Amino acid sequence: MFKQNIQCPNCNKAITILLDINNQTFNSIIRKCELCFKSIEIDYYFEDNEIKTLSYNSKK
């Protein structure tokens, strides 16, 4: 797992999320904010031991 700090798109607080990095490909996941408990949709691409792209939005 890879720890990534983001700003929650729902409550705008800084939170830490855990990303699964087993498959080196494009990933789209849903995580719950640890503070406001709303869902966040996270898209990322992991390759060569680093996050290449990361974007996230509130999940309606």
Contacting positions for Zn ion (CB under 5 A): 8, 10-11, 33, 35-36
Instruction: Please identify, using beta-carbon distances, which residue of 9 and 45 lies nearer to Zn ion.
Output: 9
Q: Which is nearer to Zn ion, 35 or 51 (CB)?
A: 35
* 25 vs 37 by CB, closer to Zn ion: 37
> DSSP label at 34?
T
DSSP 13: -
Shortest Cβ 33–Zn ion spacing (Å): 3
C-beta separation of 2 from 21 below 8 A: yes
Q: Is residue 6 a contact partner of residue 57, using CB atoms and an 8 Å limit?
A: no
